[in-house]
Amino acid sequence: CPHKGFTRSHTIIIDVSKLGDGASIEQKLEAANIIANRNLLPWDKRLGRDFRKPGGLRLGTSEVTRLGMGGSEMEEIAELIKRVVIDNESPQSVARDVAELRSGFQKVHYCFDSARKAYDYIEIR
């Protein structure tokens, strides 16, 4: 669907079993302020894996798109993930760069107009 300006899905599942298990990679990314989810792969059970330590990782673009990020930011996010998962860079070091990237995206897009920032707390009485 790129010719229509969008993709078929905002979610991908990646086999990370050659780099570790989905749970440990999920935790490393979370320490870098990158949220992903461990995910079972169709062949995990056959290989003795379960939901606690699956072979997959799920990544989605809906939240960053909602904040107004586009293709160039997705490339930057991919590089940040690579630094943690493949290059084994300290998650704390990468977290600073994640915060810097995120600082430029404070407004919600693709929804009703609002004067509130993306993560303002709304008090419910």
How far apart, in whole angstroms, are the C-alpha atoms of residue 57 and residue 28? 12
* Of 44 and 107, more confident: 44
Q: Tell me the CATH number at 39.
A: 3.90.1150.10
* 12 alpha carbon, distance to own chain's centre: 10
Residue 117 lies in a domain: no
pLDDT tens digits along 28-64 = 999 999 999 999 999 999 999 999 999 999 998 888 8
pLDDT-derived band at 17 (thresholds 50, 70, 90) equals: very high
pLDDT-derived band at 108 (thresholds 50, 70, 90) equals: confident
DSSP 87: S
Residue 108 lies in a domain: no
Length of the chain: 125
Give me the domain span that covers residue 12. Answer: 2-103
Single-letter residue type at 9:
S
Residue 119 lies in a domain: no
How far apart, in whole angstroms, are the C-alpha atoms of residue 53 and residue 47? 11
Phi, psi of 60 (to 5 degrees): -135, 160
pTM of the model: 0.81
